[in-house]
Amino acid sequence: MTGTEAALDEIRLLGVGGVGRHGVFPEERREGQTFLVDVVMAVDTRAAAASDDLASTVDYAAAAREIVDFIEGEPVNLIETLANRIAEAMLSRTGVRSVDVTVHKPEAPVGVPYSDVQVHVRRSTDRQDADAPAPEPAIARAEPAPARAEPEHAQPDLDAAPEQPVPVVLALGGNVGDVRTTLRGVIADLTTTDGLTVEEISPLARTSAVLQPDAVAQPDYLNAVVLATTTLAPRELLDLAHHLEGTYGRQRTQRWGERTLDVDLIVYGTLTSTDPELTLPHPRANERAFVLVPWAQADPDAFLPGLGGGPVAALAETAPDRAGVRWLALDWLEDPAPRPAPAAAVSPSSPPSPPDGVPHLPQEAPAEPEDDVEEENLEDLELLAHGDEDSSEAAEPESDDLLPWVRNQPADEAPIAPRWQPLHRDE
């Protein structure tokens, strides 16, 4: 601020927030994201202090409501535009001599780990920044030759089937009902789908719900990732995902709401698409630990292509929701089995098998059947996820290889540390 403005008082509104659809990418206009605004107004508050009358100063409650209206109102491409509109509105309020506006876009699709994106503007009543350079005198210049129009980037044909099988990544999740059974059913359906070959299935992750600010709390999700190859066209695969969601009771009545099943197409080979109905790679995959962590478990060398991509394991370590990954189950596709009988009464038998056609995962400790999503981390598995000094021996699996749960955090349900390999007995 100038010397005169520095002598004025300030009214500050910090962290005014809302969900807006500002941005240049289709998914930003479609899905929306959180924006925060800081406003500092330079005013002379002496008259208000003497009269103790709200009419003599800036009504900051009304100013805050107007800021939210801008955030949640007409979308613009640039937050520079949003910041300027807010500044002009604040400057029009009686008594405001100058204003500083900072717009925060903490969920911007930057493509690399970051904490915030900010644009700061300063406006004053003279509408001229004292430090701004004087305008250059107009000079007649020859008109340049019109530039040759560059051809627009051709969008891929999402209805065209590939000539050869293409690697794809599907992310599954849900937090309503018997989610483990639902996900097992979906994988069984995928294995019998013509034109799709399931190659690998990740461990099952329990994750906290990713919500909008001030949203009502939801149950935890169970998430898994399926690696496959396909000869289906991208849109055919999207239609398959929507069909599976409908088959298992998905109802799209509330955005960001609870759901029985979510099936997202994350990657379709190296295809890049900005189609509003099917953006590829998935625009927020590089920020979602509930996708990245199980994916890195299934394929430690996986690489997410496109803007913001990179090694999946590295992206998982820096994902904003990394702390919400509570635990991972390795043997979740196996059929539930009763507890083993005492040693003297045990009779040899074959281990339970996964659904027909589902790739086999190593058989680990048997688990109790569950009733709903709140019962999904079974009693024996809970002991490993939470710890139980009195029952630790009973929960110990008989296998000498891998424990059935990836867990190297303290036994108080803290998030697992960013190590993707399973624990061995001697660790």
DSSP-assigned beta bridge partners for residue 170:
226, 265
**What whole-number distance in Å separates Cα of residue 295 and Cα of residue 297?**
5
**SS3 of residue 103 by DSSP:** strand
**124 strand-pairing partners:** 98
| Residue of 190, 215, 160, 264 lying closest to 17 (CA atoms) | 215
Helix, strand or coil for residue 383?
A: helix
Q: Residues 105, 180, 250, 259: which is the catalytic one?
A: 105
Q: How far apart are the C-alpha atoms of 236 and 159, rounded to whole Å?
A: 7
Cα distance from N-terminal residue to C-terminal residue, the chain: 59
d(CA 118, CA 101): 10
CA gap 65, 401 in Å, rounded = 60
Which two structure tokens, joined as six digits, stand for 70? 């801008």
Cβ atoms of 17 and 33 within 8 Å: the answer is no
DSSP string, 243-258: HHHHHTT---SSTT--
Tell how strand 278-280 and strand 262-268 pair up. unpaired
Give yes or no for a contact between 417 and 408, defined as CB atoms under 8 angstroms apart: yes
Kindly state the tokens that stand for 348. Answer: 């040899």
Give the H or E element holding residue 241: helix 234-247
Give the whole-angstrom CA distance, residue 336 versus residue 353: 10
Sort 39 into a burial class: Cβ within 10 Å, 0-12 / 13-18 / 19+. Answer: buried
The amino acid sitting at 425 is: R
By three-state DSSP, how is residue 113 classified? coil
Q: What is the identity of the amino acid at 213?
A: P
Indicate the SS3 state at residue 166. Answer: strand
User: How many angstroms separate the CA atoms of 101 and 104, rounded?
Assistant: 10
Residue 105 known to be catalytic: yes
DSSP character string of 15-30? EEEEEE--SSSHHHHH
Which residues are annotated as catalytic? 105
